[in-house]
Amino acid sequence: MTNPIVVERTHPTRWQRVLGQCLAAAAALALLTWLGFILGVDLTTISLIYVLLVVFVTLFFGFWQASLTSLLAVACLDYFFTQPLFRFVISNSRDWVALGAFQVTAIVISRLSAKELRSKREAIIHRNWMEQLYELSRDSLLLNLHEPPGPQLVVLIDRIFSTEAVAMFDANLGRQDRMGEWGTDEEDVAKKCYLRGASWNDRETNTSQRVLRAGSGSIGALVVRGSLSPLVVDALASFAVTAMNRHQLFENEERAERASKTEQLRVAVLDAMAHEFKTPLNAVHTASSGLLESEGLTDPQRALTALIDDEIIRLSEICTQLLMTAKLEAQQVGLQIEEVNVQELISEAVSSREADEARSRIHVALDDPSSTVRVDRALVVMILTQYVDNAQKYSAPNTVIEISARLSNGELLFSVHNIGPTIDIEDWERIFDRFYRSPQLKDAVPGTGVGLSAAKKAAHAHHGHVWVTSEEKEGTTFFLSLPDGARRKQ
């Protein structure tokens, strides 16, 4: 069995093509010269015919081919149509002027024709690029945002612009996607461009590299190999940045939606659990209270029953906080706004302290005891009560807990200060998150991490704010600001 003969087609090089065009122009010039000489055409007529030939050569071949043709035409005019014939000698000075005018005319016309032809070709190329960019912009709007944009974009760019190769690196996803033929040393070409942080064009290989930037940072890189203008590559990079940002925004929206649904489910579960707990807790509290009032209990039994009663009260308060937080998050709480005296709010929060010794440590400082504020009394008392509870739990023994309230720029500012263990600055905001407790303090005092989150929600319902500061020398201070409606009593 004989092997088949494989015929390889070779394409002529640029210089071979130019040489062939010059030979074709020379052959056409020779034919016109022969016909003109046989027919006895005068110098003026043959000159015009040569000018037309130069124009055609310019249009179909190029300026340099036309320039060579015009020089050969001058030689033919001198040799075959200018006296003395068949000699490269000109006896009449007017013939010199005619030949010179022909050469200048031929070159000028060739130059103008070549320039016009080049402008026309560039206009066609730019129009094609605009059509391709429009197609890319239209198709990029149809990208599947559930999938990474890289694989989809490289396919679009390769199909629409017929590139030799294209590669894209997405720093957010940490992935590189490629199309076309790349060398073994170009496996990470787009990633390397991103790491270098520099954009450039390589004319020898027709490769353009662009760093994809969004704002002040880099989010990836695009590398394209093909006959494309640097402006077109810049436009492709802009499309890539837009597609990556759309995908990132879509992912963020999906993540936020999932978090919102999770939060709604969590709030519903907490609400249901708190409601379920309230009924048995009330029953147990009633029973323990009845036992304490009955006679016949020994001292140890009475002490245990009192402990049960106290813990039942604490559990009931926790359930109430959970219910209130769930309703605040679901925006199911209608604020009962009324004008309340500030001193009465603080007194109500302090009076909930059962032990006289606990109340004796509390010092209240008011700029104006007659000042009032329009708020929901129950919610604000809940916030202040939580602040006072925290201060009592974490303050050093026999230290003063200071509660103050003052008007400032139309806002009423409450503060509860105590001396005790400090809170790390990184936890100043997190302790208001539900179930979060500061690592260095959570083992020292029992708690659930629910109260401060309920206080934050209650403050936000009033369009107010809560925050804390804590320093070793100054102590810890919890703040509550309530905007609007705060004023001094006239």
Q: What is the CATH T-level fold of the domain 143-332, as seen in this structure?
A: Beta-Lactamase (3.30.450)
d(CA 476, CA 416): 8
Q: Which pLDDT score is estimated for 267? A: 59
Letter for the amino acid at 177? D
In the chain, the N- to C-terminal Cα span, in Å, equals 117
For 128-176, write each residue's pLDDT tens digit. Answer: 767 777 777 777 777 887 888 888 888 888 888 888 899 999 988 888 9
CB 27 within 8 A of CB 53: no
Number of residues assigned to the chain: 490
Q: Do domains 143-332 and 337-483 have the same CATH topology?
A: no
Predicted confidence at residue 5, as pLDDT, reads 43
Q: Which of 399, 141, 406 shows the shortest CA–CA distance to 250?
A: 141
Question: What whole-number distance in Å separates Cα of residue 234 and Cα of residue 255?
Answer: 32
- Please list, in sequence order, all residues whose beta carbon lies within 8 angstroms of the beta carbon of residue 211, skipping any fewer than 6 positions away: 193, 194, 196, 197, 198, 199, 218, 220, 221
Domain ranges of the chain: 14-126, 143-332, 337-483
The reported pTM is 0.42
Ranges in the chain, pLDDT < 50: 1-10, 486-490
Q: What is the pLDDT of residue 143?
A: 80
Three-state SS letters, the chain: CCCCCCCCCCCCCHHHHHHHHHHHHHHHHHHHHHHHHHHCCCHHHHHHHHHHHHHHHHHHCCHHHHHHHHHHHHHHHHHHHCCCCCCCCCCCHHHHHHHHHHHHHHHHHHHHHHHHHHHHHHHHHHHHHHHHHHHHHHHHCCCCCCCCHHHHHHHHHHHHHCCCEEEEEECCCCEEEEEECCCHHHCCHHHHHHHHCCCEEECCCCEEEEEEEECCEEEEEEEEECCCCHHHHHHHHHHHHHHHHHHHHHHHHHHHHHHHHHHHHHHHHHHHHHHHHHHHHHHHHHHHHHHHHCCCCCHHHHHHHHHHHHHHHHHHHHHHHHHHHHHHHCCCCCCCEEEEEHHHHHHHHHHCCCCHHHHHCEEEEECCCCCEEEEEHHHHHHHHHHHHHHHHHHCCCCCCEEEEEEEECCEEEEEEEECCCCCCHHHCCHHHCCCCCCCCCCCCCCCCCCHHHHHHHHHHHCCCEEEEEEECCCEEEEEEEEECCCECCC
Distance (Å, whole) CA 155 – CA 153: 5
User: How far is 434 from 294, CA to CA, in rounded Å?
Assistant: 40
Ramachandran category for residue 306: left, alpha or beta (phi over 0 → left; psi -120 to 50 → alpha): alpha
How many CB atoms are closer than 10 A to CB 314? 12
> How far, in Å, CA of 59 to CA of 120, rounded?
11
pLDDT digits (tens, 9 = 90+) for 258-270: 766 666 666 566 6
What torsion do the CA atoms of 421, 422, 427, 430 make, to the nearest 10 degrees? 60
Peptide bond connecting 84 to the previous residue in cis, omega within 30 degrees of 0: yes
Q: Which CATH superfamily is domain 337-483 in?
A: Histidine kinase-like ATPase, C-terminal domain (3.30.565.10)
Answer whether 184's CB lies under 8 Å from 177's CB.
Answer: no
Q: Are strands 401-408 and 362-366 parallel, antiparallel or unpaired?
A: parallel
Supply the pLDDT for residue 473. Answer: 84
Decide: 388 and 362 in contact? Cβ < 8 Å: yes
| CB-count burial class (<10 Å; 0-12, 13-18, 19+) for 6 | exposed
